[in-house]
Structure 1
Amino acid sequence: MRSVFAAMALALVASLPALATAEPTYHAVPAELVKPRDGLGNVLAKLEAGETVRVAYLGGSITAANGWRVKTTAWLKQKYPDATIEEIHAAIGGTGSDLGVFRLERDALRYKPDLLFVEFAVNDGGASPDRIWKAMEGIVRQTWAANPKTDICFVYTFRVNYEEPLRQGECPQAASAMELLADHYGIPSVNFAKKIVELESDGKLVFQSDEPTEGKTHFSTDGVHPLDAGHEIYTEVLGDAIEQMASNARPVDHQVKLTTPFVQDHWQAAKMVPITSEMLSGDWKALAEDDTLQRRFGNRMGQIYEATEPGSKLTFRFRGSSAKLYDLLGPDGGQVIISVDGKPREKLVPRFDSYCTYHRIATLSVAGDVDPEATHEVTIEIHPDQPDRQPVAFRLKNPEVELKTPKYQGTNVRASQILVLGDIVP
């Protein structure tokens, strides 16, 4: 009888990790050029068999550039000439994993990738490990919930100031946080930044310079965005890593890995929900297909709605822990009054900042740290006064004149989607 109870006790203990896990503790991780972990066995099998393979690249401006992304696709086509390689461009400059997790389905997963590269180590450089874990784990879990045979690979790019920890043999904070998550899920990683620092230490590369240095690789002019030679190094490192993983490749069903989360409050539930006409009041209009902003941003944002008149409102209800607006900042941007459950925020929120000599994609946090089990109502209303344009003045040749031109006038708000951790309630 005692042995029966002992067996039952052991079975209960064995089941506990799947139900609850201790929250992880951050620590710096040793930097390695390649960590194969569970490898890329699924996609390599399809490549070797000459099948159609879709490769998605999720990241920021370093990936959005026609650099390592384009070069890696070309390398795969050359390495596996019998396979058909289709590239999924899912990168947006100036964005991190906190947006990537919300746009993952729209920009990557709906195209059914066989391989997903994730590049956010630079743009997540200022984020806490906890925030990185929530968003990056959401990306991992959404991907494998959609298709447990999709392989994922984390890549870590370089920026100036990352060299010090790397010279000490450690990953910078963002990459260390991602490595801890990658260990949990068996995700392979490739550390481009480590190679860049090694080359600089050997006297073969200059991190940042306006002019080439004779006999040395000119990596960048700004310390972040590689020139072509820098992208070539990234591609060579990644190609070597893929060949290394190919030598011991085995297909893996990633479904079983979803049993035990890394952090309990991960963002797998993150989603992007289109704005509908029922949510709008005032002078909102759907931009036409031939509108300049719709043509420029519609591929990423979907249908963009625009309002120019004060008092125009966007109202929606959601159940969950947070909600954001996927919108545009621009030189003619207005400012908004945000109310949650009838309580207006104390300060107005401008849709304009010191970079707004042009329009760009942004997110507006409208509700956070709310009761995730309750239904919340959010209202975003255009304020009558346009925001102060002086923050952008230092970028202009003649600010006194330019800030009075039509380009910098208006109370315009443009948005397309609601980013919600939870669900929109009709």
Structure 2
Amino acid sequence: MSGAASKPEIVRVRGQLANTKRKLAEGELTVGFIGGSITDERAGHNWPEPVTRWLVANYPQVRFAVENAGIGATGSDLASFRAKRDLIDRGCDIVFVEFAVNDNGVATDRRQKTREGLLRQLLASGTTDVVLVYTYCQDMYGPMSEGHMPPSIEEFEVLAEHYGLSSVWMGMHAFQEVKAGLMRWEEWLPDGLHPTERGSYSYGRSVIGYLQTALASVDEQAERADAGAAAGLPKPLDPGHWQEVSFVPFEKVRTEGPWTVRRWVTLEWIERALSTSAIGAKLAFSFDGRGLALAFDFGKNSAECRYRIDGGEWKETSRERPAWCGPTGWLKLETITDDLPGGRHEVELEVIHGNKPDCAGTRFDLAFIGVIS
């Protein structure tokens, strides 16, 4: 992978955080976070907490707002559909992106498309600084113990170089603390993935170290260059990136069977859901674009479906339900396709049970219909 060095540098500084410095000087800063369970605010102790506390303690004259959009067991694909509502429309001045772990099991071509689309959305206005942060999962042990970057991180670094984004390898910072005897492994990751409060503090300290350096530097010429570069994005590395996404309103969906559109009160990231529990219930809708993704309130009680596009062959979903998965409560994205010819397409869908041992119910709770253009 050209363009990304393999030596284990923890912090790589690119750019000057011009927007963040300006907003700090004005006395008001909105900080955004997006990632998986390692970032999710509901844990109460994850790494955004020490980072936020450091900012508040060191800039007492500034009013801070925090928009933590992290959700466990989600990746950059779902984030591409969430960026506008949960970060951009909330006026984030700086956003920390953490998906090296949750994208780890996704094929390179797919994860690079979704990552690049997410980053281009965040950078498009030129008024948001973006910092990439990388945590740790057990698959990364081999490369890291040999001083190399795991592929998921190395590929993120290619995007960081292309878009001039600073990055912080939080996982390497904690890994080196363990190697130095400053922290025991079980203090960091008792389950091999999710950090304890001590592990989260280690992650946070690496980001704080970056911010101490980046926010203390003053380079007005570079800051002006930063602002000018951000206003005009470079050409994408992958023309199939997911920057242009939209939604099919439920009001445009044709239904057959007992469906309801209801306000969703059981999962905070869903505003409304199109819902049924009837096997054989059907949907049909049209969309303009090259890709389609469906998001669900998913779990062991969720039904599967079969679908076809433009009158083609029927296909069935067969989603994994890991042991940790509950009956509902997982905001899960199912990517149907992202390589259709551009233009108008017709979709037909029918709810089926799934006939699998781990498919224990017939709930079909559709959070949104996402379109990739």
The two structures have a TM-score, normalised by structure 2, of 0.90
| Residues 107 and 272 of structure 1: CA distance in aligned 2, closer, same or farther (over 3 Å) | farther
Rg larger in structure = 1
Indicate whether 1:173 and 2:151 are aligned. Answer: yes
Indicate whether 1:151 and 2:151 are aligned. Answer: no
2:301 partner letter: D
Indicate whether 1:100 and 2:69 are aligned. Answer: no
CA distance in 1 between partners of 2:322 and 2:195 (Å): 24
Indicate whether 1:36 and 2:13 are aligned. Answer: yes
Shift of 1:115: 0.4
The corresponding residue for 2:354 is: 387
SS in 1 for 2:358: helix
Is contact 1:163–1:197 with CA below 8 Å preserved after alignment? no
1:363 pairs with 321, 328, 333, which one? 333
CA distance in 2 between partners of 1:221 and 1:319 (Å): 47
| Residues 143 and 300 of structure 1: CA distance in aligned 2, closer, same or farther (over 3 Å) | same
- What is the correspondence of 1:400-419 to structure 2 with a 5 Å cutoff? 408=360, 410-419=361-370
- What is the correspondence of 1:197-216 to structure 2 with a 5 Å cutoff? 197-207=175-185, 209=186
Shift of 1:27: 6.2
- What is the correspondence of 1:216-231 to structure 2 with a 5 Å cutoff? 218-231=187-200
Is contact 1:153–1:188 with CA below 8 Å preserved after alignment? yes
Is contact 1:50–1:80 with CA below 8 Å preserved after alignment? no
Is contact 2:305–2:354 with CA below 8 Å preserved after alignment? no
CA distance in 1 between partners of 2:2 and 2:341 (Å): 26
Deviations 1:31-56 (A, max 9, x none): 21111110312202322x25211111
Indicate whether 1:353 and 2:321 are aligned. Answer: yes
The corresponding residue for 1:341 is: 310
The corresponding residue for 1:306 is: 275
SS in 1 for 2:236: coil
Shift of 1:331: 3.1
Deviations 1:96-144 (A, max 9, x none): 1121112111221110100010000111112233323211211121112
Deviations 1:64-92 (A, max 9, x none): 03211122112111111100110001111
Deviations 1:176-201 (A, max 9, x none): 11111101111011111111121122
1:239 partner letter: I
Indicate whether 1:420 and 2:371 are aligned. Answer: yes
Indicate whether 1:282 and 2:243 are aligned. Answer: no
Structure 1 segments of 4+ aligned residues over 4 angstroms from their partners: 24-28
Give the % identical residues: 29
Shift of 1:270: 2.6
| Residues 62 and 354 of structure 1: CA distance in aligned 2, closer, same or farther (over 3 Å) | closer
CA distance in 1 between partners of 2:37 and 2:277 (Å): 30
CA distance in 2 between partners of 1:260 and 1:368 (Å): 20
Is contact 1:144–1:255 with CA below 8 Å preserved after alignment? yes
Shift of 1:269: 1.1
Shift of 1:352: 7.0
Deviations 1:340-374 (A, max 9, x none): 1112424x3256734453212112233443212x3
The corresponding residue for 2:118 is: 139
CA distance in 1 between partners of 2:244 and 2:321 (Å): 30
CA distance in 2 between partners of 1:115 and 1:79 (Å): 17
Is contact 1:308–1:411 with CA below 8 Å preserved after alignment? yes
Is contact 1:352–1:387 with CA below 8 Å preserved after alignment? no
The two structures have a TM-score, normalised by structure 1, of 0.79
2:101 pairs with 97, 102, 122, which one? 122
Is contact 2:248–2:287 with CA below 8 Å preserved after alignment? no
CA distance in 2 between partners of 1:238 and 1:63 (Å): 13
CA distance in 2 between partners of 1:371 and 1:277 (Å): 22
Shift of 1:151: 0.4
Is contact 1:38–1:188 with CA below 8 Å preserved after alignment? yes
1:295 pairs with 265, 271, 275, which one? 265
The corresponding residue for 1:322 is: 291
2:28 pairs with 52, 56, 72, which one? 52
Shift of 1:327: 1.0
Shift of 1:224: 0.8
Shift of 1:160: 2.4
1:166 partner letter: M
Gaps of at least 5 residues in structure 2 are none
Query: What's the Cα RMSD here?
Result: 2.2
1:269 pairs with 231, 241, 244, which one? 244
Is contact 2:257–2:282 with CA below 8 Å preserved after alignment? yes
- What is the correspondence of 1:184-203 to structure 2 with a 5 Å cutoff? 184-203=162-181
Deviations 1:224-243 (A, max 9, x none): 11000011111111111101
1:112 pairs with 91, 105, 114, which one? 91
Gaps of at least 5 residues in structure 1 are 1-23, 210-217, 393-407
